């Protein structure tokens, strides 16, 4: 099968979308499929079986740390040469418009997937008046697709309420082997929390440092528990502000970590704290669970889904400092509940290898081709 993908973000950026796409491309290569991916400039020319066409990108005025690309005529020429069986628009907003247009122009099956809750960002940035327009925009784009994929049932429910059609599920995944094999390291622990004593608890945050992630809400916990340390793994436009907010506390900024280094960071902390309420899924929760970390997370529909309404993690009211502090207190003092949460998290993570979601996506591809009465090209010989 030949698949043309359009994505608003890819390497060298690091986020949940990129993690999912990398796993997907590895699986599609393993299964013998060809991919032509259009992504903002700066991406590698090849990844797995995918040939990547970089499109010049520029900062978005409302989100300057993110670079977005617009469709160019070269895309049409590349699509015509590649002759895809279908088009997949990943999180269509700008560059994804090209995928929607060329699916219409060449009468190709179109799948769109929804990964970022941009209307919720509007609320966070006190731009509530933009929320209806944003929902209208994304609904208009997605409803051109044969299938609209959401990455959690909670997000599916929200999209259905907002009038999105033809909804399907593209389930969660994690690199189980990488994270479950990670070992606790004294050296890594010193990198995460240079001032921590041998018995001091270390909380971990992993992700992009942006205002909508609510990372600053963790500060009262450090004020309440003098021996508590916070390792902030990641980078982004809000880092300088956060460094000022956490000045004088036991917080330490490490910058980005990837792969085995990141897995070791998870394994060397004592708990994972996730204050964001704007995620459509939160893949970092699964990474933490796979390494055996107990998770504390702000309440939201996707978080409740991931953490099984508290069975697999501590859940707190995001609007209440006291609620977060009480959650941390329970983590530190209630050994029985902490161990039960760790155990359930490990049980969940064991079932979440990326092969399942990747195979599910391939089944969606095959379904839209069948609906269009198209016969996809056979996979390359010597694969599978």
Domain boundaries, the chain: 2-173+353-374, 176-350
pLDDT value, residue 83 = 96
pLDDT value, residue 65 = 61
The model's pLDDT over 16-52, given as tens digits with 9 standing for 90+, comes to 899 999 999 999 999 999 999 999 999 999 999 899 9
- Specify whether the CB–CB gap between 103 and 84 falls below 8 A: no
Do the bridges between strand 202-206 and strand 110-114 make them parallel or antiparallel, or are there none, so unpaired? unpaired
- How far apart (Å, rounded) are the C-alpha atoms in residues 298 and 373? 45
pLDDT band at 64 (very low <50, low <70, confident <90, very high): low
Please choose, from the candidates 289, 274, 309, the residue with its C-alpha nearest in 3D space to the C-alpha of residue 349: 289
Asked if the model's pLDDT at residue 162 lies above 50, the reply is yes
Terminal-residue alpha carbon distance, the chain: 13
pLDDT value, residue 376 = 73
CATH topology of domain 2-173+353-374: Rossmann fold (3.40.50)
Asked if the model's pLDDT at residue 377 lies above 80, the reply is no
- Which segment of 53-62, 181-190, 192-201 scores lowest on mean pLDDT? 53-62
In CATH terms, are 2-173+353-374 and 176-350 the same topology? yes
Please choose, from the candidates 263, 287, 273, the residue with its C-alpha nearest in 3D space to the C-alpha of residue 316: 273
The model's pLDDT over 71-82, given as tens digits with 9 standing for 90+, comes to 998 999 999 999
Asked if the model's pLDDT at residue 147 lies above 70, the reply is yes
Domain spanning 176-350 has what CATH number?
Answer: 3.40.50.2000
pLDDT value, residue 101 = 97
pLDDT band at 159 (very low <50, low <70, confident <90, very high): very high
């Amino acid at each position: 099968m030949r698949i043309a993908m359009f994505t608003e973000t890819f390497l060298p950026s690091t986020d949940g979308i990129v993690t999912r796409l990398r796993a997907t491309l590895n699986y599609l290569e393993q299964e013998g499929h060809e991919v032509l991916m259009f992504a903002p400039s700066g991406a590698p020319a090849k990844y797995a079986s995918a040939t990547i066409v970089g499109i010049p990108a520029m900062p978005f005025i409302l989100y300057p740390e993110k670079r977005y690309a617009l469709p160019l005529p070269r895309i049409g020429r590349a699509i015509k040469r590649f002759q895809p069986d279908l088009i997949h628009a990943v999180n269509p907003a700008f560059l994804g418009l090209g995928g929607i247009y060329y699916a219409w122009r060449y009468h190709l099956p179109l799948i769109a997937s929804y990964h970022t809750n941009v209307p919720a960002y509007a609320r966070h940035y006190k731009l509530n008046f933009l929320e209806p327009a944003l929902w209208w925009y994304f609904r208009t784009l997605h409803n051109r697709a044969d299938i609209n994929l959401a990455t959690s049932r909670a997000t599916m429910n929200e999209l259905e309420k907002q009038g999105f059609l033809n909804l399907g599920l593209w389930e969660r995944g994690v690199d189980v082997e990488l994270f479950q094999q990670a070992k606790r390291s004294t050296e890594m622990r010193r990198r995460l929390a240079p001032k921590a004593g041998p018995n001091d608890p270390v909380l971990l945050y992993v992700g992009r440092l942006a205002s909508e992630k609510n990372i600053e809400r963790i500060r009262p916990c450090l004020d309440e528990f003098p021996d508590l340390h916070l390792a902030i793994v990641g980078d982004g436009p809000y880092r300088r502000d956060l460094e000022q907010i956490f000045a004088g506390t036991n917080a330490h900024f490490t910058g980005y970590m990837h792969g085995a280094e990141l897995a070791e960071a998870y394994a060397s902390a004592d708990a994972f704290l996730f204050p964001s309420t704007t995620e459509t899924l939160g893949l970092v929760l699964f990474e933490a669970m796979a390494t055996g970390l107990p998770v504390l997370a702000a309440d939201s529909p996707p978080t409740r889904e991931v953490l099984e309404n508290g069975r697999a993690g501590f859940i707190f009211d995001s609007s209440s400092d006291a609620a977060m502090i009480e959650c941390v207190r329970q983590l530190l003092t209630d050994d029985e509940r902490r161990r039960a949460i760790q155990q359930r998290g490990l049980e969940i993570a064991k079932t979440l290898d990326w092969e399942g979601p990747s195979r599910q996506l391939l089944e969606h591809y095959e379904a839209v081709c069948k609906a269009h009465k198209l016969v996809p090209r056979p996979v390359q010989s010597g694969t599978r």
